[in-house]
Amino acid sequence: MSGEQQTNHLPFFSSPIVRRESGTDWSVDPRTHSNFRRTSRSRTQTLSLNNIQGLSEVDLDDKDAYSLDSPLIQRHSEATNSELFYDLFFVANLTVFCSVKEVNDTTTLAQYIGFFTILWFSWFQVSMYDVRFSKDSIFDRVAKALQFGVMVGFAINGPTFDVGEKLESIMGLSSDDSITIIADPNLTSFKSLTIIMMASRLVLVLQYLQALYQTRHQKETILPMSLIAGTEFIAALVYFGLYFAFHMLHSNAYLTWYGVAFLETAICTAVSSIWRTISFKGTHLVQRMSLLTLIILGEGIIGLSKKCQSIVKGQIFGFTSSTIANIACCVLFIYLLFLLHFPSLPQRHFGSIRQQIYALVHFPLHLALVLSLDGANQFIAWRAATVRVNSLMAQLPAMSFSTPQVAKSSVESLEATVNDVFYAAFKSADGVGEVLHYAKGNGTAHVGLELLRTSLALPLAGED
């Protein structure tokens, strides 16, 4: 064998600090990529690119990324593959929850907003670590796998996220208190959800402690990273404490989830703004927000396609001119949202504090997007059903009940139409819940038809 074969082994831990040889500085000239001088508290130093290792993934065209009062922390100009894979779990959660939780009143709206809040802030906490300190290693891959498991846990508990439903409406009892789970007096799903959120924060604590250990020789990073790790640990303790708060009527403790999510994000963001050594300068935080926006728009397109398929499966509804116009308007609406957001994105890096403000305002933006897209998609299905119902109602005045024979024929025609409508609804149903809902409506309609037969002195269905 000629030559010595070199194998790069994946380290168990990996430092986010860019390695350098002794006698060199951390600063790089973004214009010449050779020498860049900066003044620190004690001295002026110069760095040559020839002495730096590990700069292949760093964006040297970004001056702010290297005008640092800190060690040179390796940055990624684009999202890594593991980050993109993590985003897939987010959109899977969102898609599944949208399919089982249709917003049709204030209660379901509150449930939708609540679940999206804990999902989005959990994603954001992980992303704030990834864009600054994540570097490929065995530990990082294990931590990422655990965060994938957290997302799967959210998906499992999403269908039972029934916050705010009244005890009277669920169990027929009179009470002003709220409970959150149907036929689940011990609130098992909420207990499991709060444990999942605790696990997510504990993984972040371990990740920050690992990054803190790797940068322990840089004294200016110890305090801010300790504060963030401590904040995540306290949040985990609060989530664990909520496990014991969920029981019977005392279930409004779920509101603490939202408060803790906002508070921990505010503290971690403030720490990153005060201590610039761990700021978001030179990171791809803006790109992460843009990618999530694109994913949410994609989820809206998926919802639009599902509604169109439902109309096709329920052949009785059909594509009328108004339905086609509504679909075209929905497509145009999504496209305009895309044009409003992405062409206006800054092409170059901007200040760290402005980056964080830009990232945080994406929470109400993303919430507004998912609700608007879901509402637009529901409107398409509602319009198709309304057109069909109006056509059926227009046939009623033409029905005659002058003689028993004519009345019988009219009732049978009406019954056939009802059967066609509910058969189409059954075919387009997405789950057991919708099937049961339509079955209830079908039963009610047939009871009404039998009452009509009785009032007209006609034989009941199945009788001669």
Taking only the tens place, the pLDDT of each residue in 14-55 is: 766 655 444 444 333 333 333 333 433 333 333 333 344 444
Where is the domain boundary, 317, 346, 379?
Answer: 379
Establish if 141 belongs to a structural domain: yes
Check residues 185 and 399 and name the one with the higher pLDDT. Answer: 399
Check residues 368 and 2 and name the one with the higher pLDDT. Answer: 368
Check residues 376 and 424 and name the one with the higher pLDDT. Answer: 376
Amino acid 414: pLDDT = 64
Q: Is the pLDDT of residue 161 over 50?
A: yes
Q: Is the pLDDT of residue 328 over 80?
A: yes
- Token pair 């058969």 is at which residue? 423
Q: Are residues 363 and 422 in the same domain?
A: no
Q: Supply 399's token pair.
A: 């029905």
Q: Are residues 195 and 139 in the same domain?
A: yes
Check residues 318 and 298 and name the one with the higher pLDDT. Answer: 298
Q: Are residues 290 and 231 in the same domain?
A: yes
Establish if 75 belongs to a structural domain: no
Nearest to 362 by CA among 93, 92, 124, 147: 124
Distance CA 336, CA 328 (A): 12
Q: Is the pLDDT of residue 203 over 90?
A: yes
Q: Are residues 234 and 295 in the same domain?
A: yes
Instruction: Among 51-65, 115-129, 335-349, name the one with the lowest average pLDDT.
Output: 51-65
Distance CA 277, CA 69 (A): 7
Amino acid 344: pLDDT = 64
Exposure string for 33-65, b = 16+ CB within 10 A, e = fewer: eeebebeeeeeeeebeeeebeebeebbbebbbb
Q: Supply 12's token pair.
A: 């168990």
Amino acid 273: pLDDT = 86
Q: Are residues 349 and 418 in the same domain?
A: no
pTM for the predicted model, two decimal places: 0.74
Establish if 282 belongs to a structural domain: yes
Rounded-to-10 torsion of CA 100, 106, 112, 116:
180
Q: For 380-419, give the secondary structure using H, E and C.
A: HHHHHHHHHHHHHHHHHHHCCCCCHHHHHHHHHHHHHHHH
Check residues 397 and 133 and name the one with the higher pLDDT. Answer: 133
| C-alpha count within 13 angstroms, C-beta hemisphere, residue 207 | 31
Q: Are residues 363 and 416 in the same domain?
A: no
For 132: left if phi > 0, alpha if psi spans -120 to 50, otherwise beta; the answer is alpha
Residues in CB range of 288: below 8 A, 6 or more apart: 79, 83, 127, 130, 131, 359
Pair 28, 51: CB distance under 8 Å: no
Domain count, the chain: 2
Q: Are residues 314 and 404 in the same domain?
A: no
Share of the chain above pLDDT 70, in %: 58
Q: Are residues 361 and 420 in the same domain?
A: no
Establish if 66 belongs to a structural domain: no
Q: For 54-103, give the secondary structure using H, E and C.
A: CCCCCCCCCHHHCCCCCCCECCCCCCCHHHHHHHHHHHHHHHHHHHHCCC
Nearest to 125 by CA among 51, 178, 192, 199: 199
Q: Is the pLDDT of residue 432 over 60?
A: no
Count of helix runs (H) and strand runs (E) in the chain: 13, 2
Establish if 325 belongs to a structural domain: yes
Distance CA 325, CA 383 (A): 10
Establish if 172 belongs to a structural domain: yes
Q: Is the pLDDT of residue 170 over 50?
A: no
Establish if 293 belongs to a structural domain: yes
Computed over every residue of the chain, the mean pLDDT equals 72
Span 349-357, mean pLDDT?
74
Q: Is the dihedral of CA 101, 147, 80, 271 positive or negative?
A: positive
Q: Are residues 296 and 349 in the same domain?
A: yes
Q: Is the pLDDT of residue 297 over 70?
A: yes
pLDDT band at 65 (very low <50, low <70, confident <90, very high): very low
For 220-271, what is each residue's pLDDT tens digit? 888 999 999 999 999 999 999 988 887 755 567 888 999 999 999 999 999 9
- Its domain, for residue 405, covers 399-455
Distance CA 334, CA 29 (A): 42
Establish if 133 belongs to a structural domain: yes
Distance from the first to the final alpha carbon of the chain: 95
Amino acid 108: pLDDT = 86
Amino acid 145: pLDDT = 94
SS3 152: helix
pLDDT band at 198 (very low <50, low <70, confident <90, very high): very high
pLDDT band at 381 (very low <50, low <70, confident <90, very high): confident
Where is the domain boundary, 320, 345, 379?
Answer: 379
Q: Are residues 361 and 221 in the same domain?
A: yes
SS3 427: helix
Q: Are residues 312 and 423 in the same domain?
A: no
Exposed, middle or buried: residue 99 (CB in 10 Å: 0-12, 13-18, 19+)?
middle
Amino acid 366: pLDDT = 94
What string of DSSP letters covers 263-329?
Answer: HHHHHHHHHHHH-GGGS-TTS-HHHHHHHHHHHHHHHHHHHHHHHHHHHHHSTTT---HHHHHHHHH
Nearest to 262 by CA among 132, 124, 146, 110: 124
Q: Are residues 437 and 365 in the same domain?
A: no
